[in-house]
Structure formats: C-alpha cells, structure tokens
Amino acid sequence: MARHVMFLVHGIGQRASDGAVDGPVDAAASWSKVPVELLMKLARKYQSDVDFSLNPSPTGIRIVPLSYCDIIVRQLEAWDEFGSSDVAGAFAAKFPSMGAGRLGQLKGISKRDSGLFWAGPVDVLLYRLFLDGDIRTHVREQIANGLIGSSVGGVLPTCSFICHSMGTSVLHDTLAELLASPQQFGGFANMDIHLYASIANVSKVLQGRFNPNDSPVRPLGTPSEARFPACVRTFVNAHNTTDPVAHIGMFRPKWDPTVCDYVDVEVAKLKWVDVHGLVHYLENPSVHIPILRAACQITIDAAKEKKAIKTWEDSKGDNCPESLEVLKKKVQKLKADWDDKGDAFGPVEVAVSLVDVWRAIEDARAACTKP
C-alpha cells in the first residue's frame, strides 16, 4: 500500500547478467537497482524523513520499476542468429516478411559494429516492428498491478512516471492507449498523474498511433487537435545537447510553460562519456529537483536548488577531457547527419543511427579508460 506510486521505466540495452539462470527474469529484476538507490538517496538528501522506497508505509511513496526488457531478452534468446555479424541476414532468416528496403538498410551495419547493434539498437526494431502490442500489454499490466497493489480501501493512489530513452516511446504509447480508452480500461483511464518525466525522449521519432505532442500524455492546460483531454499535472522533459539520442528523438513540443506545468530541462555540459545514461541524467539537480518536487512533494527552495546545481556543475566527471572533446565533435557530426535525413526516417533509420551513437560512446569509453 502507498499513497503515491512512482513508476520507473528503462531504455534500450537491458540484458541479463553473465551466468544468469533465467535471462529474461534477471534482466527485468536487475536493471533498476542503481537508479532506485540513487532516487532514494537524493530524496533523503533534501528531506531526511521522506517515506520513499520500494516498500513504504501506507502513507508513503512507493517506487515500482517497470520492465519490457524481459520480452526482448526472451526473443533474442530464442533467435538462432542472435549475435550474427550479418545483421541483415539474421533478420531475413527470422522475419522473412521484412521488406527488401529495410534489409538493405541493415546491410549498412558493419561486422565490426554488429555487436553494438545486438547490445541495444536491435530493441528499437523489435519494439516498433514486431513486439509493440505484446510490450504495451506487458507494461500496462504492471502499471495496473502496481496501482492495485498500492490501493487503500479500494482507492487507487496517485502516481508519477519516469521514463528513459526507448522507454519514453514504450510508456507514452502504453499510457496514451490506456487514457484514450476509458470504455475499455475503466478506472485506470482516470489515474491521477502528478508527474511525467521523460529523459532523452524518442517518442516522437518512434511515433505509433498517437502523436506525443497531442496525446493524453501531456500537461493540463494544453490544447489538443485530436481533442484528447490532457492527463498530466507536471511534465518534465530532460535532454542533454550532447546526447545524440535525444537529438534523434527531436521531442520539442510547443507547450507554453506559462499556461501549463511544463519543465523543459536542457543540459549543455558534457561531464560523462556515458552522456545518454539514465543515472547521470538523474544525478543532475536540474533534472531530479523538479521530479522530487512533483512526485514526492519535497520542498526545495530556490537558494537550495541554485546551490545544488552549482555543486553539480563544479564537480568532476570523467577524467579524460581529450576523449570528451573527441566525443563532442563526433556527436556534432552525428546530429548533422541525422538532420540531413529530413523527414525520411523510420525505426530502421533510428536503429542504424543508434549503432553510430553507440560506436562513438564506446570509442570514447575505451580511450577514457586507457592507462
């Protein structure tokens, strides 16, 4: 039981640990350990007595990690050609109905970079082209279980959501479908969403049935051409200008923060090679303070916020400035290459571009750890 539930959703590339007996179960259970511990630590930094954990009291705030990686890991484990250096050939054998055009695009992934593709970007294709319905149903059931399991006297708790990377697309699609269909989903379509925090949002570039700029998953007070009622009290959109994934996502809604509670957090500083990582995003006070205010109702005044941001900006990141500078230049090129695509893109283009992103980050990481 809890008075409020904070759901947390992962991005791509969640895999089982080495030696796991059950890969899907291990991936789903292990991905959230570090971000959950960080969120609890940050909340207690600003309010030491906050009741915020995986198992709070009935009047506390419960963290509920959601997963869809178990479906992806299960699919990969059953794929004979999983890990093949011939990415296009592996897809042709597994999904013979996949068009020649898309297979041709996958042929552009080199043998050298094929491992990077299977480690994460493949998730985009599996979600958008083959497993979208299964994944949305899986996530929706977890949300329902989290709300019912935290209800008090049959009354559902209020809730918040934090999602990252491809999880922004998965969660948006799941919630939009649910909120737009009260006749199908009943009381769950009336959930009271205090916060929706999207980090490195790719829901627009991976858009399915619902336009993320116009769906029910938007701040109260914003209009909709589709006439869906807005269902989110506070919407936080966090992106780093050096994170090429966030640039590929291009989630830039024209919501007016003077008429709705929309917080657009643009981070311009490159401190870490893992510029796309969820944990590094959450460590930034510009990101976690509006989240804690909205979801945990923690009072953090302007002076304390300013001091926290200054401390974060002055703190050291990865001790390899040359590698970070090389990464920054590669990211600028990746962003320019993506912009050259114009509007001609789909899930395959996104996945292939993510391979280039992963290569740039991997090369920078290798250079950064070199003795």
Q: What's the pLDDT tens digit per position in 112-132? A: 999 999 999 999 999 999 999
**pTM given for the model:** 0.97
pLDDT computed for residue 272 by the predictor: 97
Residue 75, pLDDT > 90, answer yes
Provide mean pLDDT across the span 348-367: 96
Strands across the sheet containing 158-164: 52-53, 61-66, 4-9, 158-164, 193-199, 232-240, 261-267
Provide mean pLDDT across the span 251-262: 94
Whether the CB-CB separation of 162 and 38 falls below 8 Å is answered with no
pLDDT computed for residue 187 by the predictor: 75
pLDDT computed for residue 105 by the predictor: 93
- Percent composition of the chain: helix, strand, coil (DSSP 3-state, to 5): 50, 15, 35
Pairing of the two strands 232-240 and 158-164:
unpaired
Task: For the chain, give every domain's residue range.
Answer: 4-369
CA distance 340 to 323: 26
Residue 342, pLDDT > 90, answer no
DSSP designation for 155: B
Mean pLDDT of the chain: 95
Residue 78 has which token pair? 């059953």
Residue 132 has which token pair? 């979208």
CA distance 57 to 333: 50
Question: Is residue 155 very low, low, confident or very high in pLDDT (cuts 50, 70, 90)?
Answer: confident
Provide mean pLDDT across the span 252-281: 96
Whether the CB-CB separation of 107 and 88 falls below 8 Å is answered with yes
Whether the CB-CB separation of 200 and 11 falls below 8 Å is answered with yes
- 5-9, 184-188, 194-198, 320-324: least confident range: 184-188
Q: Which residues lie below 8 Å from residue 3, measured CB to CB, with a gap of 6+?
A: 58, 59, 60, 61, 152, 157, 158
Beta bridge partners of 199: 164, 238
The torsion angles phi and psi of 101, rounded to 5 degrees, stand at -65, -45
pLDDT computed for residue 17 by the predictor: 93
Question: Is residue 182 very low, low, confident or very high in pLDDT (cuts 50, 70, 90)?
Answer: confident
Residue 304, pLDDT > 90, answer yes
pLDDT computed for residue 25 by the predictor: 98
3-30: per-residue pLDDT in tens? 999 999 999 999 999 999 999 999 999 9
Provide mean pLDDT across the span 21-44: 98
pLDDT computed for residue 222 by the predictor: 95
Residue 348 has which token pair? 């395959």
For residue 264, give the nearest of 233, 296, 292, 286 by alpha carbon: 286
Provide mean pLDDT across the span 209-234: 94
